[in-house]
Chains A and B, each alone.
Chain A
Amino acid sequence: MTATTVTRAERDTFAARVHARAVRRVARYVGSVTLVIGAVFWGIFLVVTVAVPLIVRQAGGVMGGGAMTGAEYAAPWFALSLGTIALATVVVPHLAAGGTRRSMFVGALVAALVAGVAYGVAAMLLLLVERSLFGALGWEWEQLGSGLDAGDAWLVVSGAGTAIGVAVYMLVGMAAQATYRTNGVWRGTALLLPGLALLVLVDHATRSGAFADALGGLGLVGDQPAGAGLLLALVVLALAAAWLWWQLRVLRLRPTR
């Protein structure tokens, strides 16, 4: 039998149900890409973190800092490229399958937060592994990743810094992808700048990553209490989310011919 009319209530229930399903689906897709490929990333760094000191020790050398510094520098950029790729893959099929830009955004935001937390926890675990390895080898271990003044809470602050940084980078990467689709090559490139500013800001707030090093090298910034830094980082995270929504909400698919 065919229904001929749809009531307002049926319409609203339907809309809420399909929206929730679409959000979950985006979160699942983008989240699984970042988690599965992220697991490989962190797995490699675990091996490197353990193997390099052992090899150096074998050669009779001593290390001042471990390989985890590299992971902390690389993780946000890795998340940025994964975000870019995941959104590029999914955004057109998502709209074609009847998803909205809003469900795309909410799902992507959830995925970015989940990835951030997962990468943050992974970073904390690896820091602990590295510290105990250095202790076992009788070396002095210095944590290089985060420049926030955290005292005893250094581990949690590092993890939180990585988490927020990863989420921001991922959101900015996804926003860049959406920007290019809407604005084409020239304006799209120009519109990378606000995203870049967010990356610099979050690096600055957490005192980690290449941009923080650059700013520090220029003598522009000093130390910062961990609480204030993380709070600023959260503000940047909110801005990055807003930036992604700003780019997605106007996304149009032009005819291909």
Chain B
Amino acid sequence: MFDGPEPIYVQIAQMIRAQVLAGELAEEEQVMSTTQFATTFRINPATAAKAFTGLVEEGVLYKRRGLGMFVAPGARERLLDSHRKAYFDDVLAPALAQADLLGISTDELVAYVLGTDGHRKPGGPTTTTEES
């Protein structure tokens, strides 16, 4: 658990974001306390607390005094929004730049996305064109 190159608190935040995105953590649902986090994953409680602080600033979590941390209303929507934006900036833009470099035409790309080039799609965003 948490073997990535980023600091552990970043990885914890990513994990919680992923859980909210996937709907595993519903809005207004309580998340584990720093203590539970610390003992469950055997990490320093301050590390978990740091992840929580970041998520509160992002509006993913909010603190109820004396009760603990809860998933903020609208958190999933906000995450989806920011991830969508990030998808274009971080994933698609570099891929398109690479395509440009390799001389792949826009038509070819569109055909690939729509599946009209006859290849088997590796799964991706649902398109208006239904395939059997």
Q: Note whether A and B contact each other (Cβ less than 8 A).
A: no
Chain A interface (Cβ < 8 Å from any Cβ of B): none
